[in-house]
């Protein structure tokens, strides 16, 4: 597991959907409340006063949205939304396989439908496109990100255009992967700051797959809700650790080179896109919780209270890998997670980690129930052979944290560049 950054910066612009309250002094919600208090019987009975109230209800403009509901993320752009977008509170991941007999034509029609739906939902048009569960909400920073698995290119007759970065990931000794919850032809990442908005998008997109694709697997996760802390803070994972301090930042001069595929990579459809490595990582929380706080901090290499490195300073202080304690031991242990995962320990390998926690109830291991909980890990990079693979190899061999983790599902997906106005995601591949 690598840390996940959640500081809510502004790499993608948000658009407000709220309307000034003063323009609509009698809101739909206010009228509903008044009807419930003073005239519900008349409405149900169909009396004159009830009919008048019903007519007013139909004509009343919607109430202004609050800040979270009003935030929107543009669907179109050079990159797909959901990569550098600040982490949302609710997330869903799903993989689909093209149906038997479906090929390039059916895949193009599907991506066209899905892109139109994602655009409408990201603009808060749940009434037009959704299931009804998000009718009262705005877009709530909804994003939908689409990716293609290795098998997608075989099924669409595009094997010759499959990028080299989609080479199968190597096996790692700590893997305990379930093939039924791994890989897939098509991959969706859905995020929103409202759980109903996120669920509405998932169900709507699944329904609009029609006969072209069938669901292979689906997983749901969560993060801290915006505004839950005194100021924007790095996320904590289910182990209680500040998780994501050393993530690359969009303002870093080499950020794009690490995260996005360059235009000269030989795949025009992938320019401005990225590769997503997805891993379902179960945390052995009951075992972890039996460690003392000091032992937990040694495993990670950071203080639990504020995320500061054990070599000193505060959260953002660079880790001093060479600092020694009074007894001559290293302040950052040789197998500490921050040491083993650091770019300087992996030839400069860097990824943008953007993950969600999950809790799927409890597992019966024979010794009593244990939490089925952990991290839906997502790593974004321009080349997984230079990003995820070398880091995971190093973690697999020498990370003290690996004793408390189980990698149970995996997938690698090529994520096309963003759709231009009038385009659908993947159009340059499927129609090029």
> Active-site residues: which are they?
243
Burial class (CB in 10 A: 0-12, 13-18, 19+), 113: middle
| CA–CA separation, 21 and 27 (whole Å) | 8
The DSSP-derived string for 83-121 is SSSPPPSEEEEEEEEEPTT--HHHHHHHHHHHHHHHHHH
Torsion, CA 314, CA 317, CA 323, CA 327, rounded to 10: 10
CA nearest neighbour of 256 among 429, 79, 103, 134: 79
CA distance 293 to 306: 13
- How far apart CA 188 and CA 378 sit, in angstroms, is 12
The conformation of residue 328, written as its DSSP 8-state character, comes to: S
How many Cα atoms are found within 13 Å in the side-chain-facing hemisphere of 280?
24
Q: Is 87 in contact with 191 (CB distance < 8 Å)?
A: yes
Write out the H or E segment, with its range, that includes residue 389: helix 388-398
Q: b/e string for 372-409 if b means 16 or more Cβ within 10 A? A: bbbbbbbbbbbbbebbbbbbbebbbeebbbbebbebbb
Cα torsion 421, 424, 426, 427: sign = negative
Distance, in Å, from the CA atom of 317 to the CA atom of 106, rounded to the nearest integer, reads 51
Cβ–Cβ < 8 Å for 309, 302? yes
Q: Would you call 60 helix, strand, or coil by DSSP?
A: coil
């Amino acid at each position: 597991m690598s840390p996940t950054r959640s500081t809510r910066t502004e790499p993608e612009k948000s658009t407000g959907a709220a309307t000034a309250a003063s323009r609509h002094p009698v809101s739909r919600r206010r009228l509903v409340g008044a009807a419930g208090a003073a005239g519900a019987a008349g409405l149900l009975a169909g009396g004159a006063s009830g009919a008048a109230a019903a007519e007013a209800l139909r004509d009343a403009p919607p109430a202004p949205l609050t800040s979270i509901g009003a935030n929107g993320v543009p669907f179109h752009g050079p990159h797909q939304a959901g990569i550098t977008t600040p982490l949302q509170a609710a997330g869903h991941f799903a993989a689909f396989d093209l149906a038997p007999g479906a090929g390039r034509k059916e895949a193009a029609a599907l991506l066209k439908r899905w892109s139109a739906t994602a655009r409408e939902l990201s603009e808060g048009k749940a009434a037009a496109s959704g299931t009804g569960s998000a009718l009262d909400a705005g877009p709530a920073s909804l994003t939908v990100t689409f990716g293609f698995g290795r098998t997608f290119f075989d099924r669409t007759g595009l094997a010759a255009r499959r990028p080299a970065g989609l080479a199968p990931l190597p096996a790692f000794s700590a893997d305990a992967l379930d093939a039924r919850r791994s890989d897939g032809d098509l991959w969706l990442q859905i995020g929103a700051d409202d759980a109903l908005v996120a669920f509405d998008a998932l169900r709507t997109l699944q329904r609009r797959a029609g006969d072209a694709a069938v669901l292979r697997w689906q997983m749901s996760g969560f993060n801290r809700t915006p505004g839950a802390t005194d100021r924007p803070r790095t996320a904590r994972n289910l182990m209680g650790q500040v998780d994501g301090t050393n993530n690359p930042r969009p303002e870093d001069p080499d950020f794009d080179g690490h995260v996005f595929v360059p235009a000269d990579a030989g795949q025009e459809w992938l320019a401005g896109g990225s590769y997503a490595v997805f891993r379902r990582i179960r945390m052995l929380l009951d075992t972890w919780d039996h460690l003392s706080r000091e032992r937990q901090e040694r495993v990670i290499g950071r203080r639990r209270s504020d995320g500061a490195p054990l070599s000193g300073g505060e959260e953002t202080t660079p880790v001093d890998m060479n600092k020694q304690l009074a007894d001559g031991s290293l302040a950052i242990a040789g197998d500490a997670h921050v040491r083993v995962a650091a770019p300087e320990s992996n030839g400069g390998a860097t990824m943008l980690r953007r993950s969600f926690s999950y809790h799927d109830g409890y597992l019966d291991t024979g010794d009593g129930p244990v939490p089925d909980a952990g991290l839906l890990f997502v790593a974004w990079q321009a080349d997984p052979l230079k990003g995820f693979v070398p880091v995971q190899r190093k973690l697999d061999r020498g990370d003290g944290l690996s004793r408390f983790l189980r990698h149970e599902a995996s997938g690698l997906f090529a994520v096309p560049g963003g759709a231009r106005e009038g385009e659908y995601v993947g159009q340059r591949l499927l129609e090029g």
